[in-house]
Chain A
Amino acid sequence: AQTVTQSQPEMSVQEAETVTLSCTYDTSESDYYLFWYKQPPSRQMILVIRQEAYKQQNATENRFSVNFQKAAKSFSLKISDSQLGDAAMYFCAYRSGYSGGSNYKLTFGKGTLLTVNP
């Protein structure tokens, strides 16, 4: 079974600074997807960024980028120019790339609570 580990329960960053959230995962599969989801106090789960395991290029979405190290099974999220609205719980998630039943589920890490200080 796949596992996702987020070793930082809490992080803080100053507004306009850069912060990196860590995520490691364990899998024996070669085809999979990795995600970062954001959950602000409103409770809504918002997809931040997606990475396909077969792509060597790191995904980027505006101020959000990832550092995907497949051999190390590491998938960190970098937030540049942090804004007050970035304050939220961030979840790293894994999904198998194979077809069939439980392969479609997301397996989540325990989350990292990010505080942005003005």
Chain B
Amino acid sequence: DTAVSQTPKYLVTQMGNDKSIKCEQNLGHDTMYWYKQDSKKFLKIMFSYNNKELIINETVPNRFSPKSPDKAHLNLHINSLELGDSAVYFCASSRRRQSEQYFGPGTRLTVT
């Protein structure tokens, strides 16, 4: 029944490691997003894909690389993790022509 799912929900890792977060939606949406929520709860867009095409790429370090194998999946790979990458990462999805976005449960990333 889960509409937008993310794995893992929690991720604790050391500086310098590489990690991935996966997102899947079963809503039939064609557009998916990654948002970052910082320690002050501020939410900001990072990336968006529409039908496997990158359509939003905000100012994000190139250590972050999104990949969309199909329109139901969007992954986020992070290289050489830094302390400042600690945050909650949310995946969301929508139909391109609709306004509402539906969010996954978030992945809390802690870099030590």
Q: In the complex, which residues of chain B have a beta carbon less than 8 angstroms from the beta carbon of A35?
A: 99-100
Contact A101 B43 (CB under 8 A): no
Contact between B31 and A45, CB atoms less than 8 A apart: no
Q: Is A105 an interface residue (CB 8 A)?
A: yes
Whether B41 pairs with A89 at a CB distance below 8 angstroms is: yes
Contact residues of A with B, CB < 8 Å?
A: 33, 35, 37, 39, 42-47, 50, 52, 89, 91, 95, 97, 99, 101-102, 104-108, 110-111
Query: Which of B33, B99, B101 has the most chain A CB within a 10 Å cutoff?
Result: B99
Known contacts A95-B101, A104-B55, A106-B92; 5 additional CB pairs below 8 A are A42-B105, A50-B100, A104-B94, A106-B45, A111-B42
A33, A50, A102, A108: the one contacting B43 at CB < 8 Å is: A108
A43-B88, A110-B41, A111-B41 given as contacts; is B48 within 8 A of A105 (CB)? yes
Query: A99: shortest Cβ distance to chain B, in Å?
Result: 8
Q: How far is the CA of A108 from the CA of B35 in the complex (A)?
A: 11
Chain B interface, DSSP helix/strand/loop, else mixed: strand
Residues 58-112 of B contacting A (Cβ, < 8 Å): 58, 88, 90, 92, 94, 96-97, 99-103, 105-106, 108
The reply to whether B31 and A108 contact each other, CB–CB distance below 8 Å, is no
Chain B interface residue number, banded? 20 to 34
**A47 near B100 (CB under 8 angstroms)?**
yes
A-B contact pairs, 14 of them (CB 8 A): A39-B41, A42-B105, A44-B105, A47-B101, A50-B99, A91-B43, A95-B101, A102-B58, A104-B33, A104-B48, A104-B96, A106-B35, A108-B44, A110-B40
B12 at the interface (CB under 8 A from A): no
B102 touches A47 (CB 8 A): yes
The interface residues of chain A lying within 8 Å CB-to-CB of B27 are none
Please determine whether B56 and A105 come into contact, CB atoms closer than 8 angstroms: yes
CB distance from B23 to the nearest CB of A (A): 13
Closest to B106 in A: A43
Assembled-state Cα–Cα distance A44/B40 (Å)? 16
Q: Would you call B106 and A104 a contact (CB within 8 A)?
A: no
